[in-house]
């Protein structure tokens, strides 16, 4: 998929990985709608990106992915402004094992909500022009982080949901590819205040640190992987792992065709 003229929506776009995703999509010719609940950071980023890439290439909309009303309004505004949606990055996420219900609401329900709201606009069967949806999961979506079991659960669910939607889309003719992005530790605010974020599992912080000591990558490393999943039209149902010493597609076992 060539990105020139394409329109993208990025959730959690104001900071961290989402900010890097937005930048690489703009660098490659797309128009980008930045969705975030952090109004100050979002407006500041839009101003900076507009100066760098042009006034008509970015739009910031304050939006909480937990809100059906706000998500529907944001996607409708995107279509009205840029004529449609070709790319969705369900990236917004949080980590707080004390606020575990909110963690589920943002990390999992927010991804499902973004997907279903976008389908109304992207699905070729309902007048859309197809495209690609990339869900930001995590390496913790492929193997457990004992210090954050709920966060781990949400990311495993995002991987499973993404792969199932990829199959549903291919079988139904939606014309939309679905892929998961599974980074290891990335240098963003999400890694700050880890003890508080681990809540009842803060006593396992040292264990987590042993994983983190294996290497922390930059947001730009993740953004390059996003670009690969967006532009390579052969990718559907994939989970792309990216960490300090490895970049690979998860080799999921294929279902046995007949019992042995």
Ligand X SMILES: NC(=O)C1=CN([C@@H]2O[C@H](COP(=O)(O)OP(=O)(O)OC[C@H]3O[C@@H](n4cnc5c(N)ncnc54)[C@H](O)[C@@H]3O)[C@@H](O)[C@H]2O)C=CC1
Ligand Y SMILES: CCCCCC(=O)/C=C/C=C\C=C\C=C\[C@@H](O)[C@@H](O)CCCC(=O)O
Chain residues in the site for ligand Y (CB under 6 A): 95, 138-140, 142-145, 147-148, 184-185, 190, 194, 208, 211
What's the closest the beta carbon of residue 126 comes to ligand X, in angstroms?
26
Q: Is residue 50 a contact point for ligand X (CB under 6 A)? A: no
116 has catalytic annotation: no
Residue count of the chain, please give it.
260
Binding partner selected for residue 143 from ligand Y, ligand X, none, CB under the kind-specific 5 to 8 Å limit? ligand Y
Rounded to the nearest 10 degrees, the angle between the axes of helix 39-53 and helix 16-27 is 20
Rounded Cα distance between 62 and 75, Å, is: 12
Nearer CB in complex with ligand Y: 123/219: 219
> Phi, psi (5° rounding) for residue 81?
-85, -45
Q: What residues contact 84, with CB distance under 8 A and at least 6 apart?
A: 7, 121, 122, 128, 129
Q: CB under 5 to 8 A by kind: which of ligand X, ligand Y, none does 188 bind?
A: ligand X
Catalytic residue of the set 53, 151, 174, 249? 151
Count of residues binding ligand X (CB under 6 A)?
Answer: 28
Residue 180 near ligand X by CB under 6 A: no
Q: Which residue is associated with the tokens 């394409």?
A: 6
Nearest residue (CB) to ligand X, 128 versus 184: 184
Minimum Å distance from CB 100 to ligand Y?
13
- Tokens representing 115 are 């997907």
* By CB under 6 A, residue 58 contacts ligand X: no
Question: Given the structure tokens 């976008």, which residue do they identify?
Answer: 118
* E strand spans, the chain: 7-11, 31-36, 58-62, 87-90, 131-136, 176-183, 239-243, 246-249
Give the one entry of ligand X, ligand Y, none that residue 148 binds, where binding means its C-beta sits below a cut-off of 5 to 8 angstroms depending on kind: ligand Y
> 89 with 226: CB under 8 angstroms?
yes
Catalytic residues: 151
The residues of the shown chain that bind ligand X, judged by CB under 6 A, are 11-12, 14-18, 36-38, 64-66, 91-94, 106, 110, 136, 138, 183, 185-186, 188-191
């Amino acid at each position: 998929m060539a990105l020139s003229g394409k329109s993208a929506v990025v959730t959690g776009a104001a900071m961290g990985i989402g900010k890097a995703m937005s930048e690489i999509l703009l660098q490659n010719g797309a128009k980008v709608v930045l969705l975030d609940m952090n109004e100050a950071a979002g407006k500041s980023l839009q101003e900076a990106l507009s100066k760098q890439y042009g006034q008509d290439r970015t739009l910031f909309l304050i939006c909480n992915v937990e809100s059906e009303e706000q998500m529907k309004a944001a996607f409708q505004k995107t279509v009205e402004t840029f004529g449609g949606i070709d790319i969705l990055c369900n990236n917004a996420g949080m980590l707080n094992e004390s606020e575990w219900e909110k963690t589920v609401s943002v990390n999992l329900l927010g991804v499902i909500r973004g997907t279903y709201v976008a389908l109304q606009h992207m699905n070729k069967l309902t007048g859309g022009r197809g495209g690609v949806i990339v869900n930001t999961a995590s390496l913790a979506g492929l193997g457990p982080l004992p210090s954050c079991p709920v966060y781990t659960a949400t990311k495993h669910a995002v991987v499973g949901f993404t792969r199932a939607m990829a199959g549903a889309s291919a079988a139904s003719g939606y014309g939309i590819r679905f892929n998961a992005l599974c980074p290891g530790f990335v240098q963003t605010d999400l890694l700050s205040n880890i003890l508080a974020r681990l809540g009842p599992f803060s006593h396992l912080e040292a264990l987590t640190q042993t994983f983190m000591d294996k290497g922390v990558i930059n947001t730009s490393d993740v953004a390059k992987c996003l670009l690969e999943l967006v532009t390579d039209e052969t990718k559907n149902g994939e989970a792309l792992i990216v960490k300090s010493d490895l970049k690979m597609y998860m080799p999921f076992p294929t279902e046995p065709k007949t019992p042995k």
